[in-house]
Structure 1
Amino acid sequence: MKTSTRIVAALALGFGFSTVQAEQPVLKVCTAENEMPYSNKNGEGFENKLAQYVAEQLGRKLETVSWTDPRYFIRDYLDKGLCDVVMGVDAGDPRLLTTAPYYRSGYVFISREKDGLDLQNWDSPALKQAQRIAFAPGSPAETMLRAIGRYNDMFNYQQELAGFKSKRNQYVKYDNDKLVNEVASGKAEIAILWGPAAARYVKASATPLTMTLIPDNAKRADGEKVGLHYSTSIGVRKDDSALLGQLNKIIKDGQDNIEALLEAEGIPLLDQPETAVSMN
């Protein structure tokens, strides 16, 4: 009889343990299925690693929810409750609540070390002399190339980079590793990219490359400022202020760990503006 009692008790404890395991809280993070170096379905991007760190600090199990098209994922995934968190959004994005920034970076000029190009700003002679400049359409790089009169010169080259895909009704992706490799291989003299998007490939290049942060003082032809430095945050749904508070604490307490991860990626980091620091 005592043996039977022990067996029943053991089974009860076992079921209790299984229930605890099954009820372990989950953090659902929206990530791109294939947008390296940020994230992919194999968890190889730096935002995948940051998401894992955040989940661990929250005491939750990480669950990734992948999207393929960046144009609608907040509306179709986050807002519908398919995920709880979005990594890597602009600080202050009006579509969601954003944390205090966890890093700030900027656009960069990329060139081969052996070419010794003096690339300091948009007035640099190397920009006027280059035959080919790689950049992503719709970015501040395009705006500034228009401002300095080099955009039309690059039109045919840009079509080559896109693989002659039609832009109508589809998302056309310009792979960051391909754009960096255009410079490494000598097909282009210069690339102008968002630093965090380029850093991994600049660091891994067999051809030594130089990456120079562009000053944040650029203006369009009409005198309007063109932003080149941006702060990056984590986003949550507008009704989830409790999770926002938890994430802000993780960013504040774990800033050294987060910066170490980003520096290992080779990302050029900038100091946060005073307004962003005060949010912490």
Structure 2
Amino acid sequence: MPAWAADRSPRRALTGALAAALTLAVGGAAAQQTGFGADLELVDQTVLRVCADPSNLPLSNEAGEGYENKLAELIAAKLGREGVTYAYFPQGVGFVRNTLRAFQCDVIMGFAQGNELVQSTNPYFRTAYALVVPQSSPLADVTSLSDPRLADARLGVVAGTPPATTLARNGLIGKARPYQLMVDTRIDHPIEDMFADMEAGEIDGALAWGPMAGWYAEQADPPHVVIPLVHEDGGPRMTYRITMGVRPSDQEWKRTLNRVIRENQDEINAILLDFGVPLLDEHDQPITGSAD
């Protein structure tokens, strides 16, 4: 999908020009705290306006219970904002268009680095897709999807994600149980369903995005084993750096967020670890405490 910055339609250009003129006319009320370029950025200076999914734990929900909600509260406090407001929309097709691009909010708290739909800040954590199995499972010490012991395993996987491709490469997709990727999270919860199926013994393991894997694994009693998929030989990448997403035009806002991330990495890590997110350093080693 082309970057939003590449949209050069006359209507878009006119809208941008009018918005910039309006900002100057009101005396820079929405200006950033530093830099002349910030005077042209429509970023609210009173509250932190966040784009979020209304029902996507452990990331976010309307009750403010997700780690992205907690991160937003931290960022707002560090910036001296009066609080956090949200533009909620299911994080699927149309999410960026209906929130950040529509100027309903100023930041998406979690976005993969390099995704061209937004301008990314510096990454504030790195994680991977993971295999989750019960502690008592004979698969608890598996480290790769190429392990021969998985040949007869019934694994749950979200269709269209990197682990699904790797299962196919290893001849394991035939016994896998697929779960939907693009859903309205206010109605459907395929990840929750997958972990419920594992609890019921219908599948032997669950393949999920790291934050989901870690959080659901911790809900089990006893907690399940989380195996980040960092030892795959070839195939699609499993590890991703996660950033905050802003509009391509908001250069000063990006720099402000980069500063907050840099100065508060330990507190950010603490929030993520509290939600069970399997944090990885650049050498794929687990991060279990404060940043060095």
TM bin (shorter chain) = 0.7 to 0.9
TM-score, with structure 2 as normaliser: 0.75
Q: Give the C-alpha shift of residue 261 in structure 1.
A: 0.7
- 1:112-191 matches, within 5 Å, as 112-117=134-139, 118-130=141-153, 132-154=154-176, 157-158=177-178, 173-191=188-206
Q: What residue number does 2:257 align with? A: 247
Cα deviation digits, residues 233-268 of structure 1 (max 9, x gap): 001111111111110001000000000111111111
Quick one: distance in 2 between partners of 1:145 and 1:96? 30
Q: What residue number does 2:238 align with? A: 228
Secondary structure at 1:146's aligned position in 2?
Answer: helix
Gaps of 5+ in 2: 1-43, 284-292
CA contact (8 A) 1:199 1:265 kept: yes
Of residues 97, 103, 109, the one that matches 2:125 is 103
Cα deviation digits, residues 122-164 of structure 1 (max 9, x gap): 221232121x21111110111111111122333xx43xx56xx
Q: What residue number does 2:215 align with? A: 200
Cα deviation digits, residues 164-196 of structure 1 (max 9, x gap): xxx9x9758553233223223322111111111
Q: Which amino acid aligns with 2:175?
A: D
Identity of aligned residues (%): 30
Cα deviation digits, residues 104-123 of structure 1 (max 9, x gap): 00111111111231311122
Does 2:274 match 1:259? no
RMSD: 2.2
Q: Which has the higher contact order (CA 8 A, sep 6+)?
A: 1
Quick one: distance in 2 between partners of 1:27 and 1:260? 21
Q: Which amino acid aligns with 2:133?
A: S
More helix by share: 1
Quick one: distance in 1 between partners of 2:116 and 2:106? 17
- 1:70-109 matches, within 5 Å, as 70-109=92-131
Q: What residue number does 2:66 align with? A: 45
Quick one: distance in 2 between partners of 1:145 and 1:43? 35
Quick one: distance in 2 between partners of 1:258 and 1:145? 33
Secondary structure at 2:68's aligned position in 1?
Answer: helix
CA contact (8 A) 2:118 2:247 kept: yes
CA contact (8 A) 2:50 2:106 kept: yes
Q: What residue number does 1:58 align with? A: 79
Q: Which amino acid aligns with 1:204?
A: Q
Q: Give the C-alpha shift of residue 69 in structure 1.
A: 4.7
TM-score, with structure 1 as normaliser: 0.78
Larger radius of gyration: 1
CA contact (8 A) 2:130 2:209 kept: yes
Q: What residue number does 2:5 align with? A: none
Of residues 275, 280, 292, the one that matches 1:270 is 280
Gaps of 5+ in 1: 1-22, 220-224, 274-280
Change (3 A) 1:57 1:231: same
Q: What residue number does 1:276 align with? A: none
Q: Which amino acid aligns with 2:58?
A: P
